[in-house]
Amino acid sequence: MAVSIGVTTSANVTKARKLFVAAATAVGEQKEVAAQLVDRKTLPQGMGISYNEPYWPAIQAMSLAEGVPIQSPQRMTDQSIVITTGEIGAQVAFTRKMAQTISESFPAVAGKALGNAIARKKDKDIIGYLSAFSVQLGTTSTTLTSGLIGAASVGIEVGRQGTARTGALPEGDPAPRPFFGLFHPYNRYDLASQLSGLGVSGAIGTTAATISQGGRPLARGLSEDIILNNFDRNVMGVDVYYDGNIPINTNSIVGVVASREGVVLVQFRGMDVDQEWQPRLRAWEWTATEEYGIGYRADAWGRAIVLDATPPAD
């Protein structure tokens, strides 16, 4: 047998050495936002699958004449909103052999992926309701501005447009505060540009005394807060949020300004992950499910806003 002469280097050892594999990373996902903004209720156990919330209509006071009795008492008939819950789910199946051949815990990876899938589905379901208020503002070429947010907030504060609840007064069905706005992250650029003055063309110039854009000094106060402190969370009394799960359709989106109480999320059962061993496959099936329902408390308490969602240019 021939003897190999020379120094043994790493190039000579390819079978016995351990291979380093960096921890796998998951595909990036948008964080769920919408579920934290709407009114959340929990359906008590043993009370069926539908949430029933009664409310009373308004009555009108009238002018009276001295000594004359009231001849027309007003009848009060209770009304209600009904939200029926449903189930969503996702499943991952993996063999025991596969789980034993990777360097990290695949059950932990699968569990996190299932949780993200359930949360994303719920977020998109709520966004679907928020985008379907009957009163709609804007067009596919409209950019988000403080004026548009203000117009929407005033509209729901008065509550005279949209489908009124049974028993609402002709003066309107005013929405209770707080109000929130939910838009795509692309819309943040348009709103911040308008509030800060950075929409003016030209480079930003700074001196010890002033900050300017396109040769125009920027006002101290709000513009400065927007630029330096990202202070665009509350606009016209509306708490503004951004959610990348809002779908883009041909460079446009449907955002919303609404009262927190305008849409109700009814939780019937939180997320469960059931684990089942399948002997014939020598594999595990992990199934994640959750049950909830979504519905409107009042259509007049929200405004759908159609906006341009072209990716911002540098």
- Beta-carbon contacts of 118 under 8 Å, excluding residues fewer than 6 positions away, are 88, 89, 90, 271, 288, 289, 290
What is the pLDDT, as a whole number, of residue 55? 84
Q: Who wins on pLDDT, 2 or 282?
A: 282
Mean pLDDT across the chain, nearest whole number?
81
The vertex-228 CA angle with 222 and 234, nearest 5°, equals 50
Residue 206 has pLDDT above 80, yes or no: no
Structure tokens at 289: 């499910």
Cβ burial 108-128 (10 Å sphere, 16+ → b, else e): ebbbebbebbbbbbbbbbbbe
Decide if 71 is inside a domain. no
Of 3-7, 168-172, 286-290, the poorest mean pLDDT is in: 3-7
Decide if 150 is inside a domain. yes
What is the pLDDT, as a whole number, of residue 19? 46
Residue 198 has pLDDT above 70, yes or no: no
Of 118-127, 205-214, 252-261, 289-298, the poorest mean pLDDT is in: 205-214
Decide if 57 is inside a domain. no
Between helix 185-196 and helix 146-158 the angle, nearest 10°, is 100
Decide if 63 is inside a domain. no
pTM: 0.79
Question: Average pLDDT of 84-88?
Answer: 94
Residue 17 has pLDDT above 90, yes or no: no
Decide if 223 is inside a domain. yes
What is the pLDDT, as a whole number, of residue 135? 95
Cβ burial 142-176 (10 Å sphere, 16+ → b, else e): bbbbbebbebbbebbbebbbbebbeebeeebbbbe
pLDDT digits (tens, 9 = 90+) for 114-149: 888 999 999 999 999 999 999 999 999 999 988 899
Q: How confident is the model at residue 15 (pLDDT cuts 50, 70, 90)?
A: low
Decide if 275 is inside a domain. yes
Structure tokens at 314: 């540098």
Decide if 248 is inside a domain. yes
* 8 A C-beta contact, residue 168 and residue 232: no
C-alpha 167/C-alpha 22 separation (Å) is 63
Q: How confident is the model at residue 50 (pLDDT cuts 50, 70, 90)?
A: very high
Q: Which domain holds residue 276?
A: 32-47+80-308
pLDDT digits (tens, 9 = 90+) for 252-274: 999 999 999 999 999 999 888 88
Number of domains present in the structure of the chain: 1
Peptide bond into 107 cis (omega under 30): no
Decide if 206 is inside a domain. yes
C-alpha 181/C-alpha 188 separation (Å) is 11
